[in-house]
Amino acid sequence: MAADIKNIVEFIAQALVDRPEEVSVNEVEGEQTSVLELRVAKDDMGKVIGKQGRTARAIRTVLNAAATKARKRVVLEIVE
Amino acid sequence: MREEVFEGKSEEEALLRASEVLGVNISDMQYEVLEQETGLFGLFRKSVKVRVRVPDEVQGIVYRDPAAASNHAAAARRRDPARTVVEDAGGDGEGPEPAGAMEGAAVRKGPEAEAALRGILERMGVDAQVTCDEDGEAIRLNIATEERDVVIGRDGEVLSALQFVLNKIVNRFPEGRKRIVLDAEGFRDRRTEELTRLAERLADKAVRTGQVIRLAAMNAQDRRVVHMALKDRPGLTTRSEGEGLSRCLMIVPAGAARGDRPGTGRRSGGKRGPRPHPGEGRGPTA
């Protein structure tokens, strides 16, 4: 099975927030590294970041595991 | 048509109260949110008023299932995003339990947790079977897969991350919180065994040399295993020091200066990463 890394972020973020319809992920592909820009509703920022950034860190760990399997590098940015 | 106004700390709670008082399923009610007071910075609890209408043809059958209320309100919120309730100011989903509102009620969140885990694994491209076991306080999810490195990760960091995310997803609403316990391919038991063996070996060393041994930073679950492994051993105590990711467990032999000079001299390492490499640098592997 092929990993769909952009879709992982989307899926997790939508499950965490109050306004899933406002979740969007933009993938900026670089030569070796892809940057995933996650946008959520302003009020939902706290839900995807978490206390001391713990939720964001957990999402990054899951993404990196999938990326390693797919022999890619990804960086997750949560943008306002 | 009956009509009445109910109040609660959240939309869900107000609806549950309505359901209980009127003896009607939440799905059979029509309701609108009248008023919401969100507390300043979440310091003061918010209150939500809903006006509930029950059509005359509806028969009163109550299912005491807060999960249904929660899902129902969540679904309504999704249909009508303008009416979003700010659920938890801290965004961490760890608010206080609503007082006694759900006492004795059976909350089923397992299916949601299971679906979320399946959804994530599928998108990670992992071939896996997920099983779920739920009781009153916890949801135990187990992953069977050949891709252990992907799902478990170094020292279980991926497994812990998945568990953390699932906890946040399932406990979005404070009603009926349930702990998620995630395991894959027997990792938890194996990890506990390895940490216990390591703890015993290091405890021997601490007692023999009379010096404090500081283990590398570990997560709370792993530290707990070490504390438990050594709690009945005479001649030493264990305690933890530091905050967050760099919190370390120390094995303190009786009579040692209370941790002022860690025997292993590992303090010079500066900022350490989140991964546990307990003791002598031969950390247990996944």
Scanning B69-108 for CB atoms below 8 A from A yields 77-78, 81, 84-94
Report pLDDT for B169.
96
pLDDT in tens, A5-45: 999 999 999 999 999 999 999 999 988 899 999 999 999 99
Count CB-CB contacts under 10 A for residue A6.
17
pLDDT in tens, B271-284: 444 444 544 444 44
From chain A, pick out residues whose CB is under 8 angstroms from the CB of B12. Answer: none
From chain B, pick out residues whose CB is under 8 angstroms from the CB of A5. Answer: 123
Choose the closest CB to B161 out of A3, A21, A62: A62
pLDDT(B52) > 90: no
Locate all alpha helices (DSSP H) within chain B, ordered by sequence. 11-22, 66-79, 110-124, 148-152, 157-170, 187-209, 220-230, 278-281
Contact of B105 with B57, CB cutoff 8 Å: no
- Containing B52, the helix (H) or strand (E) segment is strand B47-54
Report pLDDT for B176.
82
Q: Do A65 and B158 touch (CB under 8 A)?
A: yes
What value, to the nearest 5°, has the Cα angle with vertex B150 and ends A15 and B276? 95
pLDDT in tens, B107-124: 789 999 999 999 999 999
Residue B73: which pLDDT band, with cuts at 50, 70 and 90? low
Scanning B153-212 for CB atoms below 8 A from A yields 153, 157-158, 160-162, 164-165, 168-169, 172
From chain A, pick out residues whose CB is under 8 angstroms from the CB of B158. Answer: 61-62, 65
Choose the closest CB to A70 out of B81, B84, B125: B125
Determine which of A27, A48, A62 to mutate to test the interface with B (most B C-beta atoms within 10 Å). A62
pLDDT in tens, B140-186: 999 999 999 999 999 999 999 999 999 999 999 888 889 999 999 99
Report pLDDT for B24.
73
What is the average per-residue pLDDT within B97-102?
Answer: 44
Please provide the average confidence, as pLDDT, over all residues in chain B. 76
A21 has a chain B CB within 8 A of its CB: yes
pLDDT in tens, A46-71: 999 999 899 999 999 999 999 999 99
The two beta strands, A73-79 and A33-39, are parallel
Report pLDDT for B5.
82
Region for B189 from its dihedrals, namely left if φ exceeds 0, alpha if ψ lies in -120 to 50, beta otherwise:
alpha
pLDDT in tens, B226-269: 999 999 999 999 999 998 888 999 999 988 765 444 444 444 44
pLDDT(B88) > 70: no
Q: Name the token pair of B148.
A: 């252990």
Which residues make Cβ contacts (< 8 Å) with residue B281, sequence separation at least 6? none
Q: Name the token pair of A9.
A: 């972020």
Q: Which residues pair with B47 in a beta bridge?
A: B37
Q: Do B161 and A57 touch (CB under 8 A)?
A: yes
From chain A, pick out residues whose CB is under 8 angstroms from the CB of B122. Answer: 1
Among all chains, which residue has been given the structure tokens 């670089």? Answer: A30
Which residues make Cβ contacts (< 8 Å) with residue B193, sequence separation at least 6? none
Q: Name the token pair of B160.
A: 């812990």
- Containing A4, the helix (H) or strand (E) segment is none
DSSP string, A5-41: HHHHHHHHHHHHSS-GGG-EEEEEE-SSEEEEEEE--
A25 has a chain B CB within 8 A of its CB: no
CA distance B264 to B205: 11
Report pLDDT for B174.
81
Report pLDDT for B92.
44
Q: Do B150 and A69 touch (CB under 8 A)?
A: yes
Q: Do B120 and A62 touch (CB under 8 A)?
A: yes
Query: Hey, what amino acid is at B149?
Result: D
Greater confidence, A69 or B1? A69
- This complex has an ipTM of 0.95
Q: Could you tell me which chain A residue has the CA closest to the CA of B71?
A: A18
Report pLDDT for B106.
59
Long-range CB contacts (within 8 A, 24+) of B170-174: B170/B109, B170/B112, B170/B113, B170/B116, B170/B139, B171/B93, B171/B94, B172/A16, B172/A47, B172/B74, B172/B87, B172/B93, B173/B10, B173/B12, B173/B70, B173/B74, B173/B87, B174/B10, B174/B88, B174/B93, B174/B95, B174/B96, B174/B97, B174/B98
What is the average per-residue pLDDT within B118-133?
Answer: 96
CA distance A37 to A13: 12
**Closest listed residue to residue B267, CA positions, set B255, B259, B257:** B259
Contact of B54 with B2, CB cutoff 8 Å: yes
A2-79: what fold? Answer: GMP Synthetase; Chain A, domain 3 (3.30.300)
